[in-house]
A and B are shown apart, each in its own frame.
Chain A
Amino acid sequence: MESINAKYVSQKISKTKWRPVSHSDLQLPEIFATGSWDNEDNRISIWSIGSNLSTGMEDGFEGDPQLLCEHKHDGDVLDLQFLDQDRIVTASSTGAVTIFRHHQNSQVLAFEFLLVDPEVLLVQTISVSQLWARAHRYPCDNAPCTGVVCSSPEIVTVGEDGRIVVFRADQEGVVRVIENADSSTIHAVTYLRTTEILTVNSIGQLKLWDFRQQSNSPSQILSLSGDRVPLHCVDRHPNQQHIVATGGQDGMLCVWDVRQGNTPFSLMEAHTAEMWEVHFHPTNPDHLFTCSEDGSLLHWETSSHSDMPSFLQGGRNSSMVSRSAMAPAGGKQPLISAWLSGDSSKGRLETTHMLPSQTLSVNSLDVLGPCLVCGTDGEAIFVNRQVPV
């Protein structure tokens, strides 16, 4: 855990996201954005961890994220995505959807304390590029916009009002609205294919929506056969588009195969409280990361001798329970997947706690390459630059 630094930032972090790096460069991610929540003045901020990977730092400052710039945000930042290298879309608790633009080289006249002549400095700034103020609303009130996902230039948002709205960046109006898509709150959304999205809601359902169809009803509904536990997060496998992972209020991690019917492929007890985010590693999908209200961030790693990851092996109705929450900080606990009907040595699931000790809720995480960033309710950001993937 030596390579993980905590930085206290005086704002509770609700979302963190790495800025995408172009695949051509073999660069490591350097810049990430964060959004705050529960503040009187919420902000989105952009940070840099610099390009030096000094190890064994006594000081801890060389690796610390440095604030580049920030901007006021109206309402809690409930979701945040990079539209492209320079633009960030946010979902607000006021129901607004905003596009911010990050200017990397603005000229600013600065008066340094005690210096008489102002200097012209090149600084980074953020400005509001576009705003849809009442994307999500009730008839006489605002409804928080809870999730946003984008595939430039298309932006899809979901909210507590149960609507799904599609925007296009640079276009004023709304492209498409699915009214009353859900009678409960939609918590998260993700792209399944370029024309299909998947939403999860607070009565434990996954709904597939096909934008090619004109109807306002989902093309498929999946849910757990047991209790209707609200689902909070969803992520799709980067290579296999039918594999989807969800996390819910009871901290269970479910992996679904959307082609095959109604029940999840595997169920794993991951956390003791709500799971806020689940992410497959974008280039190494044998690794999965989850973070939760109980203050832990888990790194799930499967290793199997066959080509398919062990999430996909095993029978349709098998479910697996693995006790991972009690692992000591920093310890690895190998777990044999009991759900493999055949040889248990075919696959292994390892879970590691990534944070050094107990913290308040970890609200968000993002992973790109070997770098992981997460934000907590303890007003701290953790960056780990040597994630073993």
Chain B
Amino acid sequence: MEEVDVEPTITNIPAISDGKHMGFAWGPGDILVYETRYKASGASGSGCSFIHEIRKDEDIYSPILRKLFNESHHIFVGLQTIREDLPSKRDVNAQLVRKNPHSVFYSDIHFITLFSGTILTLICFLLKVSILLAIELIWNLCEVLFIDAAPAGSLLLHLLDWVRLHKADVDEKAREVLQSESPAEHRDYWDVVVSYVLQGRLEEVRQMLVKQANLQPAARSMYKQMDTLLSKMPFYNPGGTQTLTEFDVKWRHWHEEVDRCLQDNSFASNRHLELICKILLGDEDTLLDHKELLGTWYHFLVTRLLFCHPTVKLTELHYYAQSCMTMFLDSRSVPEPLDNILLAAFEFDIHQVIKECSIALNNWWFVAHLTDLLDHCKLLQSHNLHFGSNLREFLLLEYASGLFTHHSLWQLAVDYFDHCPEFGRVYLELQIERVPLETERKALKVLRVCEQRQMSEQVRSICKIMAMRALRNNRLGSALSWSIRAKDAAFATLISERFLQDYCAKGTFSDLDLIDNLGPAMLLSDRLTFLGKYREFHKLYGEKRFREAAKLLLSLMTAKIAPQSFWMTLLTDALPLLEQKEVSHQQQLVLGHGFLPHIALQKLHKKRLQEQKHNIPETRFADPISCS
């Protein structure tokens, strides 16, 4: 047995008293648990009549996350159909998370503030938002490292973008400072400047410093010097003609210049500018002094790389990542799951990333989509798992099965199953039959799903359920339309029997609008054809078109599609025709004789049965024809 990665969490069920044994049954997404009467010692106790349902994944019921599930489904389907080149895949998936958490939720936050019931709801909401922001962070990093896989030089630029995207509070603070009366004297002014430096946004730094420079004309030259330094910092241009080596040389020059400024004490009189200078040199201690402004170890990592090793390669990243994390976090604090995931990403251990995410997150949504994307980019070496499918398929199946337990999201799950080549169809067949069908409209949608995938057994089963329900409610027309859909001849026969029974009982047909307008559906079953034709016979008779009526009746008899129970009725119907002038003598004879053998045989059979009961010896019968 494999070792478990993480200790399983224990959930206490409050309603079950201590020490009682529990029985349980697994469901598709939950466990049903009940209290048993078993006692370890002594007489068995009294049971409890409650069944408890324990559900792990609450997320699919969150209205906020539902938006994410739907959008990601849309993009997933789009991704499966793009086969060719990588960049478009990237673009498609880039939309997935990047616009969502901010856009989707912040537009609703006002509404939720107004109408949410309790503070708890709000806290849950905010928690979800923070989880989603974490997911976005991880996803973007995976894109940068695994999919973009930029070479040295560009890599740092991508990482800078990544950090900037996730540290939006700097801009807010900056806005506040700039909108104040005297920005340079605002108490947060230097924090903003330093934050911009840490993010490598030197243009903004220069603009801010101009304001300070205007306030201190005496120190103008010092500010000018800093401005020059900042403007000269080289940034790698991937599209340009400069090679990496040239960039490296230029950068070292600049680095030495900054160092000289520091050694010369050019900024000694202004501690802020000196601080900036130290940061530009990438001095670790200075950076670590500003932990609150950096916020996270990965920001520290990127800043350090920016000012120490801008030509870092993908393969070198993990050395720096590990050391930065250790330096930044106190020796006492334990790294959080998010930290472990990011570290695994920096170490290029894709499987570890997926594993950690699976453990940390409640729902398979994230790992399923991430794995799918990586698989499409051919980055995932598919191990064959013990149960035959690869990792991508396994995760997609888990995710989609979870969706199927949701009363509404099952429609999304169908598309996921479609793209699981090995087991998708089987899973779908098993799950689709369990979707509850409360209305006809829902049944029609489920049917369409089955028909599009040629799941004929499921089609038949669903149509039968709906037809039986209709029959029970005496909706014969509906029942017939369901059996036509399933091409279920047996059921159509059943319905026709009902009609004929009604006729025998009441003497008239019910639901004439249906029987009169059967159309080609009549051919579905013999009984149904008989019903339609019999009704036609009645109509013809009613219109006094006796010749046609007789012809029809004749054909009904000879075609032998009439049920036995109806023969007497048909014969009774034939009798008045025998008296009609329009009916030809020939027809009369045939009518009269046509059924007689059948009737006689019937009588014979009955008599035989009676005899067998009373054990009377056989007697000869008179010639049937002479009896007429």
Contacts and interface: CB of A to CB of B under 8 A. Distances in A.
A182 B513 contact: yes
B498 to A, nearest CB: 11
- Counting from the closest, the 6 A-B pairs by CB-CB distance are A184-B477, A183-B477, A183-B511, A8-B67, A10-B63, A10-B66
Interface stretch (A138-146, A301-309, A331-339, A366-374): A138-146
A121 B473 contact: no
Q: Is the interface of B mostly helix, strand, loop or mixed?
A: helix
A67 B107 CA distance: 10
Interface in A101-146: 110, 112-113, 121, 123, 138-139, 141, 143-144, 146
Nearest to B499: A183
Contacts of A377: 411, 445
Nearest to B511: A183
B163 interface: no
Given A185-B481, A203-B480, 5 more contacts: A11-B63, A37-B442, A183-B475, A205-B517, A230-B481
Contact of B70 (A14, A225, A249, A380): A380
A361 B415 CA distance: 13
A161 B472 CA distance: 12
B440 A185 contact: yes
Nearest to A361: B445
Contact of B477 (A64, A202, A223, A226): A202
B476 interface: yes
A227 interface: yes
A71 B444 CA distance: 27
B113 A183 contact: no
Interface string A188-206: 0000000000000111110
A103 B376 CA distance: 51
Contact of A203 (B74, B411, B442, B477): B477
Best-surrounded residue of A143, A184, A359 (most CB of chain B within 10 A): A184
A12 B408 contact: yes
Interface in B68-101: 70-71, 73-74, 77-78
Interface string A53-82: 000000011001001000000001010000
A156 B448 CA distance: 30
A11 B478 CA distance: 29
Interface stretch (B41-49, B261-269, B518-526, B571-579): B518-526
B478 A61 contact: no
A28 interface: no
Contact of B114 (A60, A112, A203): A112
A286 interface: no
Contact of A78 (B114, B439, B452, B517): B439
A161 B473 contact: yes
B521 A378 contact: no
B478 A202 contact: yes
B481 A161 contact: no
Given A185-B475, A379-B70, A228 B484 contact: yes
B104 interface: yes
Interface string B436-448: 0011111011001
Contacts of A11: 63, 408
Interface residues of A, number: 64
A378 B441 CA distance: 16
B476 A183 contact: yes
Given A138-B473, A144-B439, A226 B519 contact: yes
Contact of A379 (B64, B66, B473): B66
Contacts of A180: 511
Given A9-B67, A221-B513, A39 B407 contact: yes
A40 interface: yes
B520 A61 contact: no
A359 B415 CA distance: 11
Given A9-B67, A141-B473, A226-B519, A160 B478 contact: yes
Contacts of B478: 160, 162, 183-185, 202
A378 B70 contact: yes
Contact of B113 (A9, A60, A67, A112): A112
Nearest to B520: A227
Contacts of A361: 445
Nearest to B122: A113
Interface in B428-475: 438-442, 444-445, 448, 452, 473-475
Interface in B514-551: 514, 517-521
Contact of A226 (B71, B103, B513, B520): B520
B111 interface: yes
A207 B514 CA distance: 12
Given A139-B473, A144-B439, A161-B475, A293 B122 contact: no
A273 B453 CA distance: 13
Contacts of A76: 438-439, 441-442
B519 A223 contact: yes
Contact of B71 (A8, A225, A293): A8
A44 to B, nearest CB: 16
A268 interface: no
Nearest to B112: A113
A251 to B, nearest CB: 11
B259 to A, nearest CB: 43
A223 B114 contact: no
A183 B513 contact: yes
A357 interface: yes
B578 to A, nearest CB: 34
